[in-house]
Amino acid sequence: MIHDAQMDYYGNRLATCSSDRTVKIFNIRDGAQTLVAHLHGHDGPVWQVAWAHAMYGSVLASCAYDRKVIIWQEGKHEWEKIHEYKGHDSSVNSVSWGPSEFGLLLVCGSSDGGISVLQRAADGRWEAQKINNAHTIGCNAVSWGPAVSIGSLFGQSPQYIKQFVSGGCDNLVKVWREEDGQWKEEVKLESHSDWVRDVAWAPFIGLPICTIASCSQDGRVFIWRSTGSSWTPKLLHKFNDVVWHVSWSITGNILAVSGGDNRVTLWKESVDGQWACVSDVNKGDDSGLRSSI
Amino acid sequence: MGAPSGMQRCKGRRSSKPDGTSRDMAARVVQTFSGWRTMSCELDGAASAVAVSRDGSQVVVAGRNILKVFAIEEEAFVEKVNLRVGRRTSVNYSCSDVAWHQLDDNLLATAATNGAVVTWNLSRSSRNKQELLFAEHKRTVNKVCFHQAELHTLLSGSQDGSMKCFDLRRKDSVCTFNGQSESVRDVQFSPRDYFAFAASFENGNVQLWDLRRSDRCERMFTAHNGPVFSCDWHPEDRGWLATGGRDKMVKVWDMASARPRELFCVQTIASVARVKWRPERRYHLATCSMMVDHTINVWDVRRPFIPFAAFEEHRDVTTGIAWRLPHDPHLLLSGAKDCTLFQHIFKDAKRPADRANPEALCFGPRGDVAFAAKEGLSANDPARRALPGDRRNPFFFIRKAPEPYDASLTQQHSGSVCSVLNVFQRCDAKEKLNPLENESESFVELAQRYCLAGRPFAELCDHNARIAMELCRHQVAQTWLILKLLYAGGDASPSPALLPNGGIFCGKDGSSGLGGDGMSERGKSEGHGDGGLEEPNEETEGSDVENLTASVGLYAAAAGLYSGNGEEERLELLDQDTTTSDFPEFSLPPEAFALRHEIVDGPAGLEHLQTNGPDGPGSGDEDGTDEGMRSACQGKVGGSTAGLGITAAESVSLISVSQPLFGQTLPPEVFAPAVIAMLEFYAERGDVQSTVSTLIVLGEKASGGVDTLVQEHWYLSYLELLQRFRLWDVATQVIRLSTCAAISALNHDSTSLNLNCSSCRRALGAKGWLCDRCRRCASVCAVCHHAVKGLFVWCQGCSHGGHLKHMHDWLSASPHCPTGCGHLCEYT
């Protein structure tokens, strides 16, 4: 069973991870899917994979039920493990690479409730910083935010900040920010009534607004917007089933949502701020294009 | 994901201890457990095994320093007997295993680390309850096991490689089974076959023995790679044996067939120390691990990777597990090295399988969507492995060629949950016209074809507008044209390209054929002609008239888009202007300038525009800021379709852009705010490409008004996107043309090449082309043997090279290196 699929920076390769403890990498350019690598190293189901920014070469992180986070790098001939992190006491559910400005920076969320931030130091060692008890019962998803803060965009000094969002079994979405080398919970977003399954921070392309999408076991997808001070939720849609994933397009204007009913829907915000479904990938509707934008 | 096996909650509380009929059908009704809860008690030492009495009311915990019997009360464990009595504690009591006889509630057996097998009788009145001691094994006894039906038969398995059968009525063993493998880790009597027992060995073997013949085993097979620490017979399925090994696997074997056949294989995250089938659940078994993992996992063997349930209470390695009652699947007892004894209730267990994400979704940079979803528990039904029929070709996306790729199935684990992975690609063949369809492709197209510098401003704008128009990015195209009109000043006449564009624009969206029957429209509007004509304006602004009318025409064309209902007078006036701009010689009727006059009024003009909307809010800001545009367009969108909404927004922004144009003079400061608003508008919509491209083309004209950091951010965002699409050349051009100092500096970042000397192959130092070692200039042309000045091309394989032309000529004749080093050089 495939738990996660991620395309690399250029959209040429697709990494999938599965219950069968492996990570597979497919080449998906040129219309065909060809298996190019098969990574063994985990002892349990692999929950999530993440590609690092192409600036660092082909670097992939995977996290699994065996409590390990493995960072892989494509060498001359094959993929090799460059780091293995075992700092969690329970299944690691999510990994996300930070903005390229910070070097190789990875955040991992685990069922033990903790979140770890791994950073590759100049000498190639990996330094881990752990936030204990970030989410009671467990953390299900993490996603990095942009490196540039909104305040700084229209303010005076360019300010690079490390921030990410996490979602957990306590039904909360939390935004974390690094201050003086310490991670602090910046804000706690409450709206979901069940486990938060996925969170995604929208890519930051010239927008003066920070946007986060979160989805939950309760079938609801929220879009959180912040212009600097507070976050306001907007209900995108209430689905009838668990919503497992949310994923932004690279320009951050289309959101793909996949739900328990095996359907993918694409959502786009119209000018008046309403989100409309623009496509339904799994619908066997042959009536042609029904694009409303 | 294995269905939660419906935890029945029985109404009544557990009335009394089940009596002797517990094994009868009557007692097979699921035991009440609502009164039970997860509980624990501290032990004096680390446990190494636990065993439960037949009626489930008592549990014995054995370890190196502990041997105690606890009564299981509703709220807690109560210590009943401590079997380690006496002044000195014998090594005989240092237990590695314990067994409780299933026929006699008073009979216990323990295996000691020194090789002793001890039996205990709880009914003895003295403090010392020890009954018999068999000191026959030479090394640690790993396992003791009572026969289910024979009161007096006890089996032991030892590290010394032998198994012994004891008759408790005698003082020594009845017979010895020599496995002739290695150490015995587990022995288990078969619950169905009276004489059969299974033994597992440290070398990975499992043997099946008949009690009646001790000379050799009935069958033997290699079950695991490495020690098999545990085995357990299925309580109901005759012949199913589960084995767990150090290779982190649990395997289920069908021993009834001619050859032991592997039915299931479960992969755990750590070596498996104990395996116990779960009562009343055919496919479930519980395991605990020897290291790393402290949890007790309950697996559905059909689901080989993710535990069905997990008990995470223990803080150290769990060593002993036992289901409390033979027919109750909800109560599990466990002892661990953390010196605790736990009773686990199934409803408190974690369900990792339910947590597991059954779907994967990824939005690729090119607009592809990868989506994998589970196909359900597909058991052994081959038909299910095909794609389900309802997954027809979705519109909007087409699935890429080799359709399903099933990652799990390649493992061929029967009954594993499978996923089907699809990569949906944007349809781009048919729906080329829809701008949303191929957003990423048009991004690439635009990036490649935009002309950002090297020509006069007006030409650039025209060129870019044409390209945007070809790709159906109407609003962007109109923006380019407006920009041209704004900044190119009076010297530029409307490009001929503009007019057909406007016509296409109107006609395509079917806004009542504005461009088509322009004359009749005009006639109508002439009839509406207001009295407020001001002729002098026309004369004084002679040179601006062309621009003016052209922009009004644009505006009208755009306005016609969102208001399909052109019955309002105002709009007709605008429409009329569209038609006027269709005349190349600009023979404008005087009436046309009534409109211009209105717009010249500024605030009044804008208000008037907003009232055009069917239910316009009329809340527009007069200064044409972004907010004003948006609120204005919201009003329009109310009446028109959402699809046209964006165009409406754009047209409004065009209005506000063009509005200042109607002033008497054209100082750039007047419309700079509008242009900046336009830039921000695009940026906010995620179209950073338009923002940056216009910014570059405008150059100094606009950059002053925008905060440098914002610009920098726009540039960086755009560059990031360009690099994602591998448009390196465009990215470089953007860097070069940018007006931002920080961005231009990106190109000054050093690119280092490490060079080798072509003769000695040592790395060249920082001194340039002179090799330290052979004291020669390394950049000598291999063909003409002169030092190369200018372009030097060399092979990365053999480091030899020379003048580009020489090398090219040479290699077009021969594939070999001109130096004769034998290398087959590759120049691409």
The confidence band for B763, taking pLDDT boundaries of 50, 70 and 90, is: low
Sheet holding A2-7, edge to edge: A2-7, A13-18, A22-27, A34-40
From B78, B70, B153, select the one nearest B117 (Cα to Cα): B153
The confidence band for B11, taking pLDDT boundaries of 50, 70 and 90, is: very low
Decide if A29 touches B, using CB distance below 8 A.
Answer: no
Cα separation, B632 vs B654, in Å, equals: 12
The answer to whether the Cβ–Cβ distance between A251 and B687 falls below 8 Å is: yes
The confidence band for B590, taking pLDDT boundaries of 50, 70 and 90, is: very low
Structure letter (DSSP) for residue A194: S
Highest mean pLDDT pick, B34-48, B141-155, B167-181: B141-155
Decide if A26 touches B, using CB distance below 8 A.
Answer: yes
The predicted structure's pLDDT at residue B403: 33
Sign of CA pseudo-dihedral B582, B586, B587, B593:
positive
Nearest-CB residue to B352 (from A6, A65, A251): A65
Tens digits of per-residue pLDDT, B703-740? Answer: 666 777 777 777 888 888 888 787 888 888 888 777 77
Cα separation, B416 vs A2, in Å, equals: 11
The predicted structure's pLDDT at residue B819: 78
Which of B357-366, B640-649, B660-669 has the least mean pLDDT? B640-649
Decide if A47 touches B, using CB distance below 8 A.
Answer: yes
Decide if A102 touches B, using CB distance below 8 A.
Answer: no
Of B15 and A179, the structure prediction assigns the larger pLDDT to: A179
Label residue B392 left, alpha or beta by phi (over 0 means left) and psi (-120 to 50 means alpha). Answer: beta
- Please state the φ and ψ torsions of residue B295, each to the nearest 5 degrees: -85, 160
Decide if A283 touches B, using CB distance below 8 A.
Answer: yes
Alpha-carbon dihedral angle through residues B625, B630, B635, B636, given to the nearest 10 degrees: 100
Decide if A207 touches B, using CB distance below 8 A.
Answer: yes
* Percent of residues, chain B, with pLDDT higher than 70: 59
Decide if A53 touches B, using CB distance below 8 A.
Answer: no
Q: Answer whether A183's CB lies under 8 Å from A129's CB.
A: yes
Decide if A11 touches B, using CB distance below 8 A.
Answer: yes
SS3 (DSSP) at B588:
coil
Decide if A137 touches B, using CB distance below 8 A.
Answer: no
Q: How far is CA B259 from each of CA B166, B177, B222, B235, B256, rounded to the nearest angstrom?
A: 30, 22, 12, 21, 8
Nearest-CB residue to B691 (from A54, A206, A259): A206
Angle at B25 between CA B23 and CA B31, to 5 degrees: 75
Token output for A270: 């119209």
Tens digits of per-residue pLDDT, B198-217? Answer: 999 999 999 999 988 888 88
The predicted structure's pLDDT at residue B422: 65
Of A286 and B585, the structure prediction assigns the larger pLDDT to: B585
The confidence band for B2, taking pLDDT boundaries of 50, 70 and 90, is: very low
Task: Report the interhelical angle of B668-684 vs B474-487 (nearest 10°).
Answer: 160
Structure letter (DSSP) for residue B31: P
Average pLDDT, chain A: 82
Q: Which amino acid is at B273?
A: A
Cα separation, A207 vs B683, in Å, equals: 6
Q: How far is CA B70 from each of CA B394, B688, B812, rounded to the nearest angstrom?
A: 63, 72, 91
CB atoms inside a 10 Å sphere around CB B610: 20
Nearest-CB residue to B436 (from A246, A257, A278): A278
The predicted structure's pLDDT at residue B526: 40
Residue of A nearest to B423 (CA): A28
CB pairs under 8 A between A and B: 272
Q: Which amino acid is at A55?
A: M
The answer to whether the Cβ–Cβ distance between B373 and A258 falls below 8 Å is: yes
Interface-testing mutation among A271, A283, A290, with chain B (most B C-beta atoms within 10 A)? A271
- Please state the φ and ψ torsions of residue B543, each to the nearest 5 degrees: -75, -25
- Please state the φ and ψ torsions of residue B195, each to the nearest 5 degrees: -100, -5
Please count the residues of chain B. Answer: 828
Write down the residue that tokens 């109901």 correspond to. B236
The confidence band for B65, taking pLDDT boundaries of 50, 70 and 90, is: confident
Average pLDDT, chain B: 68
Q: How far is CA B707 from each of CA A208, B606, B712, B719, B720, rounded to the nearest angstrom?
A: 13, 28, 9, 18, 20
Where do the DSSP E strands lie in B135-218?
141-146, 153-158, 162-167, 173-178, 184-189, 196-201, 205-210
Contacts of A91 in chain B (CB under 8 A): 352, 355
The predicted structure's pLDDT at residue B424: 64
The answer to whether the Cβ–Cβ distance between B717 and A54 falls below 8 Å is: no
Task: Report the interhelical angle of B569-581 vs B498-508 (nearest 10°).
Answer: 140
The answer to whether the Cβ–Cβ distance between B713 and A65 falls below 8 Å is: no
Inform me whether the pLDDT recorded for A3 exceeds 70: yes
Q: Answer whether B234's CB lies under 8 Å from B198's CB.
A: no
Q: Answer whether B435's CB lies under 8 Å from B473's CB.
A: yes
Q: Answer whether B442's CB lies under 8 Å from B435's CB.
A: yes
Tens digits of per-residue pLDDT, A118-152? Answer: 998 888 888 998 988 889 888 999 999 887 655 44
Contacts of B725 in chain A (CB under 8 A): 10
Nearest-CB residue to B370 (from A7, A45, A290): A7
From B368, B798, B779, select the one nearest A266 (Cα to Cα): B368
Contacts of A18 in chain B (CB under 8 A): 407-408, 419
The answer to whether the Cβ–Cβ distance between B357 and A282 falls below 8 Å is: no
Angle at B477 between CA B473 and CA B480, to 5 degrees: 145
B535: Cα within 13 Å, side-chain hemisphere = 0
What are B362's strand-pairing partners?
B370
Decide if A170 touches B, using CB distance below 8 A.
Answer: no
Please count the residues of chain A. Answer: 293
Nearest-CB residue to A264 (from B371, B416, B723): B371
Sheet holding A172-179, edge to edge: A139-144, A163-168, A172-179, A182-190
Nearest-CB residue to A10 (from B709, B717, B726): B726
Q: Answer whether B252's CB lies under 8 Å from B262's CB.
A: yes
The alpha-carbon gap from A184 to the nearest alpha carbon of chain B, in Å, equals 26
Nearest-CB residue to A32 (from B402, B417, B709): B402
From B349, B315, B353, select the one nearest B332 (Cα to Cα): B349
Nearest-CB residue to B363 (from A28, A158, A247): A247
Which of B152-166, B216-230, B634-648 has the least mean pLDDT? B634-648
Cα separation, B224 vs B204, in Å, equals: 5
Query: Which residues, other chains included, contact A3 with Cβ-Cβ below 8 Å and sequence gap of 6+?
Result: A17, A18, A19, A45, A46, A47, A48, B356, B357, B358, B360
The alpha-carbon gap from B742 to the nearest alpha carbon of chain A, in Å, equals 12
Residue of B nearest to A6 (CA): B362
The answer to whether the Cβ–Cβ distance between A248 and B363 falls below 8 Å is: yes
Cα separation, B616 vs B182, in Å, equals: 89
Write down the residue that tokens 């060593």 correspond to. B319
The confidence band for B772, taking pLDDT boundaries of 50, 70 and 90, is: low
CATH architecture for segment(s) A87-291: 7 Propeller (2.130)
Of A200 and B386, the structure prediction assigns the larger pLDDT to: A200
Q: Which amino acid is at B260?
A: P
The confidence band for B87, taking pLDDT boundaries of 50, 70 and 90, is: low
Residue of B nearest to A281 (CA): B394
The alpha-carbon gap from A250 to the nearest alpha carbon of chain B, in Å, equals 6
Q: Hey, what long-range contacts does B259-262 have (CB within 8 A, 24 or more apart)?
A: B259/B221, B260/B206, B260/B219, B260/B221, B260/B223
Label residue A137 left, alpha or beta by phi (over 0 means left) and psi (-120 to 50 means alpha). Answer: left
Q: Answer whether B353's CB lies under 8 Å from B308's CB.
A: yes
The answer to whether the Cβ–Cβ distance between A271 and B721 falls below 8 Å is: no
Cα separation, B661 vs B624, in Å, equals: 13
* Percent of residues, chain B, with pLDDT higher than 90: 13
Inform me whether the pLDDT recorded for B386 exceeds 80: no
Inform me whether the pLDDT recorded for B412 exceeds 50: no
Inform me whether the pLDDT recorded for B742 exceeds 80: no
Decide if A30 touches B, using CB distance below 8 A.
Answer: no
Token output for B379: 């058991």
Q: Answer whether B242's CB lies under 8 Å from B250's CB.
A: yes
Query: Which residues, other chains included, contact B73 with Cβ-Cβ below 8 Å and sequence gap of 6+?
Result: none
Nearest-CB residue to A5 (from B360, B417, B643): B360
Decide if A10 touches B, using CB distance below 8 A.
Answer: yes
Highest mean pLDDT pick, A145-154, A250-259, B664-673: A250-259
Decide if A249 touches B, using CB distance below 8 A.
Answer: yes
Q: Answer whether B329's CB lies under 8 Å from B284's CB.
A: yes
Continuous segment of H or E residues that includes residue A233: strand A231-238
Cα separation, A52 vs B431, in Å, equals: 33
The answer to whether the Cβ–Cβ distance between A16 and B407 falls below 8 Å is: yes
Contacts of B645 in chain A (CB under 8 A): 270-272, 293
